[in-house]
A and B are shown apart, each in its own frame.
Chain A
Amino acid sequence: MHSMDKSIIVIGAGTAGMEAAGQLAKEGFNVTLVEKEQDTGGHVKSWFHLFPDRRDSKEVLAYLNTQICRENITLLTGTTVNNLEKKHDSFVMNTSDGNELKADAVVVTTGFDLFRSERKEEYGYGIYDNVITSADLETMFRKGEVKRANGEIPEKIGIVHCVGSRDEKSGNLYCSKLCCVTAVKQAIELKEMIPAAKIFCFYMDIRMGGALYEEMYREAQENYEINFIRGKVSEISEDINNKLIAKVEDTLVGRPLKIGLDMMVLMAGMEMSETGRKIALSSGLKTGDNRFFSPADHHFGSNKSNLSGVFYAGTCTAPMNITDTISHARAVVSDVIDYLKGKSN
């Protein structure tokens, strides 16, 4: 097989897509990287610092940009893939700008969409000014100021875990995996920015199953005086003084708890992206009960799909952090090479 003769389309230029495109190009393939937005980078663009080492997300973006800076990568931004069809031995895709793209193999890296927190109406996002999401808070961090809608510095801040995750009422039974550690990271950053602030995390379970996550949790207790209250917030309202009131059961005490807050941050979960869903519908790629793409095998084929020649990388298959996304994107390369070798034999 001469990799130079083979072309691969990578759909989505977030972390997974950029890493996969870069690694495939390094192997000599002709790669077309398609991105629906004007810029590459995906969700990482909107984050400030990343867990667990508080690295500036700009460093990750800089790395990913070097990855795709290769002659054999064609980048199409502002372009959406409308459908994906297998014709004989190759794949045909129609894009939003009316073009037809052809490839020998396809890597789907359509990522995730953030759960729209206004869907949990009882939490008042979009109703009360000082209920914000984890993504909104990252934007505030980037600006260097965390303020209430009226410009005041918040001194009592709540954080709700599992918003749109592990929640049958939102239709999402799965754990989004990253929100617990994001909550702890953001709590620490809030405390650093506003040392007088009192911060409360409301959780059902704290899931710290990543490298250095548990240590970060401990650090939050030990060095940042973050308060952890075990209970699912049932509702948030606002009183006459514009203060938020959260209701929760303090399950470890066994009594209902009411708390007034200046600001509440909702840890929005991850959902299958809308673009991914459209591709699934037009191509016959299988999705699971969680609506993410179903890998062919959870142990040995997490990059493979039910269509031979179409592969997955990153959060289009399940919630994943950046470390795992990059590993998954590197792993897809070996499956693509195996597939194309088999084809040329």
Chain B
Amino acid sequence: MVDFGFSLLKARQINYDHNDRSIAGYIYEREPSFRLCIECGGCSATCTTGNFTRFSLREINILIKRGENEEVRHEIRKCMLCGKCTLVCPRGVNTRNVITLAKEAFQKRGINAI
């Protein structure tokens, strides 16, 4: 094969039908408040980790729901489980438990959060 110097870019779109959204299902079952997030970002604004790293709890919430697991897997280990996010959440989402359950779900699939 002659290398013409071109490559195919992976599509950026979220492949909703293809993505594995079962992590979200695992969390919904055990922490129903996870469904209530309205993406206001109160959690991310108050998050100590988020102020120093790319970590955003709000983003993790939506990525899990869309099945964008690869990114989540990389990000969730940064959470220190301090729970400030849970204190500010206007929808009463137990955000800390969402993280714990996400980690658990990955572990059960034999994929460690890295």
B51 touches A256 (CB 8 A): yes
Contacts A231-B45, A232-B40, A249-B44 given; does A168 touch B50 at CB 8 Å = no
Residues of A within 8 A of B39 (CB): 251
Question: Which B residues are in CB contact (< 8 Å) with A235?
Answer: 45-46, 88
Given the complex of chains A and B, what is the CA–CA distance between A168 and B42 in angstroms?
A: 13
Chain A nearest CB, measured from B109 CB (Å): 27
Closest CB of chain B to A200's CB: distance in Å? 14
| CB-CB contacts below 8 Å: B81-113 with A | 87-92
Q: Are B91 and A168 in contact (CB under 8 A)?
A: yes
In the complex the two chains form, is A249's CB within 8 Å of B58's CB?
A: yes
Give Cα distance in the complex from A232 to B85, angstroms: 12
> CA separation between A255 and B58, bound complex, in Å?
10
A168 nearest in chain B by CB position: B92
Point out the residues of chain B lying under 8 angstroms from A205, CB to CB.
38
Which residues of chain B (38-74) have a CB below 8 Å from chain A? 38-47, 50-51, 56, 58-59
- Please measure, in the bound complex, the distance between the C-alpha atom of A169 and the C-alpha atom of B51, giving whole angstroms: 24
Of A230, A247, A254, the contact of B46 (CB 8 Å cutoff):
A247
In this complex, how many residues of chain A approach chain B with their Cβ under 8 Å: the count is: 23
**A251 lies within 8 A of B41 (CB):** yes
Task: Give residues of chain B (1-57) contacting chain A, Cβ–Cβ below 8 Å.
Answer: 38-47, 50-51, 56
By a CB distance below 8 angstroms, the chain A residues around B89 are 168-169
Contact A254 B88 (CB under 8 A): no
Closest residue of chain B to A203, judged by CB?
Answer: B40
Least Cβ–Cβ distance between A235 and chain B, in angstroms:
6
| Cα A8 to Cα B45 with chains together (Å) | 53
Residue in B closest to A122 when the chains form the complex, CB atoms: B88
Q: Which residues of B contact A250 (CB under 8 A)?
A: 41
Tell me whether A279 is interfacial, beta carbon within 8 Å.
no
* Residue numbers in A under 8 Å from B51 (CB-CB): 256
Contact in complex: B40, A204 (CB < 8 Å): yes
Pairs A-B, 6 closest by C-beta atoms: A249-B41, A168-B92, A232-B40, A234-B45, A234-B46, A249-B44
Q: 21 A–B contact pairs at CB < 8 A?
A: A166-B38, A167-B90, A168-B92, A169-B87, A169-B88, A231-B40, A231-B41, A231-B42, A232-B41, A232-B45, A232-B88, A233-B45, A234-B42, A234-B43, A235-B46, A247-B45, A249-B56, A249-B58, A250-B41, A251-B41, A256-B44
Q: A168-B92, A249-B58, A256-B50 are in contact. List 8 more A-B contacts (CB 8 A).
A: A168-B90, A169-B88, A231-B45, A232-B88, A249-B43, A251-B41, A251-B58, A256-B47
The chain A residues found within 8 Å of chain B, CB to CB, are 122, 162, 166-169, 204-205, 230-235, 247-251, 254-257
